[in-house]
Chain A
Amino acid sequence: MKIIVCVKQVPVRDSALRLDSEGKWLDESDLSWEMNEPDAYALEEALQLKEKLGGDVVVLCAGPPRVQTTIREALAKGADRGIHIETEDKERPDALATARRLADVVRADAPDLVLTGLQSDDLGYGQTGVILAELLGFSHATIVMDIEPQGSAVRVKRELEDGWFQHVVLQLPAVLTIQSGIRRLRYATLMGIKKAKTKEVKTVSAATAPGGSETNRVSLPSRTKGSQILSGDARQVAHDLVEKLRFEARVL
């Protein structure tokens, strides 16, 4: 089975977010980057499918040159080769623009299965995979928690709201968006890291791709609810908090 995994590089979780001088985007100069978490689960699922069924795992990432480190990380974990769609540093593509670029590459590679994360931590569109399926004419399922290959189809377990699940059988080729927690994640081994250096990463330059939105500005949300904030010495805070819960909120 030939599987393409789309991974995105996003700012490290808990990064301090500072706006750029125009308030149009973040000041990215101090940020460090990592693989979007659900994408790590998508990669893990792809690697486990390959271990079971054989085949190829290709990792696909669109972004500026810095994303090469994320592609290498995926190779170190066991992906066979990488494709980097190189974009300009200053570009801010939305999910449609990104999906258009990914679609061009996926089409040429003709996989059986494309896995994406269900949502990016930074832009949070939650839709690149679904759009990709539409552009490619592939079937799709979102928020996937298990994949059972069945010949020219797959049976997947989807997560619904409130603790409900559902199985869906899909014709291949298909795009699946993977939910965090589908498997335990592996770490890259030293051997894997060494091997990754010899694996192929093809770089293609990004074609212009129109999106469907325009961002006027970004801002830190203003706080509207008057919550009482306590800070300072931990013991004092603990004392004050317990008092408030007892005598003000009367809930303890």
Chain B
Amino acid sequence: MSTLVVLEQRGAKWSRISFEALAAATQIGDPIEAVVIGRDVTGLVEEAAGHPVQKIFVLSDERLAEYTPDAYTISLEQLIKARSPKSVVFPHTYQVRDYAPKLAARFGQVLLSDVVNVKKEDGLVFVRQLFQGKLNAEVKAAGEPAFVSIQSGAFRATEPGGNKVPAEDFPVTIDPAQIRSKPEAPFREGARSVDLSAAELIVAVGRGIKEKENLRIVEELAEVLGAELAASRPICDNGWLPMERQVGSSGQTVTPKVYFAVGISGAIQHLVGMKGSKTVVAINKDENAPIFETADYGVVGDLFEVVPALVQEIRKEKV
């Protein structure tokens, strides 16, 4: 009876969310084994000292040098069959989204994705988010092992510092013919002309603005504040603002003194990009919008009334 935690690393650096997944795993209560995929991970294993892990398996086959869903699935399938864990826990990253459902399906299971809480009732119950955070569902896995991915920020990462964690190479067998995709090198799209990461004040607008023409309202707020304008994904998808103003998991990460979220619901992919802000102000007409959970100050109201009133108020204070 054990829990297997799949730790993610990139470029010989741990992804912090790996240790959030580890923290979730400690709540399951079974002894924890971990696995890391990559070559030259000796340094990483050393850094993992003190984390609540009994052993780290290292998968370093040359066919795992570049990520492909096929090679990752095949290798982890072999490890899981060898160790027979009761639960397999992943951080909910883009990479995990890409292969973990496939891996779970090989065991006749579904990945319980985006889990924010773990409870022990008669068996393990995982709380996952529905409707982009507007609803929670308590779910159980239908069989073993349970495959679970942990939402970013839902658990406080475990801390290092302590005894060394023993590492063990786990050899895998991968037939190159089984790898059906060929990845090229990751790249960034041109130089960004807007760097929101240094902005002290940000006014971010979401779908609540309804039409491109209405953007003027938030632009005015940004102007009187001397703030940068940012947006949630749908605004950029619609082409109303350039992609480089998008905040979130696939956009920029920002940490301003004040972040005004105007007509933004607060989906996790947006939150990860802005929750490091010192003060968050949310303006939303739905009192149950998840963004209020992240906000320091929440205004429940119609942005078409509140934002112009705010502009007036700030102008007034200025003179």
**A residues bordering B, Cβ < 8 Å?**
11, 13-14, 17, 26, 37, 94-96, 99, 121-127, 130-131, 133-135, 139-143, 159-171, 179-181, 184, 210-221, 223-225, 227-232, 234-235, 237-239, 241-242, 244-246, 249, 251-252
Contact = CB atoms under 8 A, between A and B. Distances in A.
A122 B310 CA distance: 34
Contact of B142 (A211, A228, A241, A244): A211
Contact of A167 (B134, B180, B184): B184
A127 B113 contact: yes
A125 B111 contact: yes
Contacts of B104: 96, 131, 212
B168 interface: no
B136 A95 contact: no
Nearest to B140: A214
A140 B70 CA distance: 9
Given A17-B134, A249-B279, A252-B258, A234 B297 contact: no
B113 A238 contact: no
B114 A124 contact: yes
Given A227-B292, A237-B299, A130 B186 contact: no
Nearest to B99: A130
Q: For the side of the interface on B, what is the size category?
A: 35 or more
B233 interface: yes
B313 interface: yes
A163 B297 contact: no
A220 B288 CA distance: 9
A26 B136 CA distance: 11
A244 B313 CA distance: 13
Interface stretch (B34-42, B124-132, B157-165): B124-132
29 contacts: A13-B207, A96-B108, A124-B128, A124-B130, A126-B113, A130-B102, A131-B110, A134-B102, A134-B106, A140-B69, A141-B181, A143-B94, A143-B97, A143-B250, A161-B94, A165-B189, A169-B184, A180-B233, A211-B142, A221-B293, A225-B293, A231-B300, A234-B309, A237-B306, A237-B309, A238-B312, A245-B258, A245-B281, A252-B314
B131 A212 contact: no
Interface of B: 69-70, 93-94, 97-102, 104-106, 108-114, 125, 128-143, 180-189, 192, 207, 225, 233-234, 236-237, 239, 249-253, 257-258, 278-279, 281-282, 286-288, 290, 292-302, 305-306, 308-310, 312-314, 317
B292 A127 contact: no
Contact of B301 (A134, A213, A237): A237
Given A139-B181, A231-B299, A212 B108 contact: yes
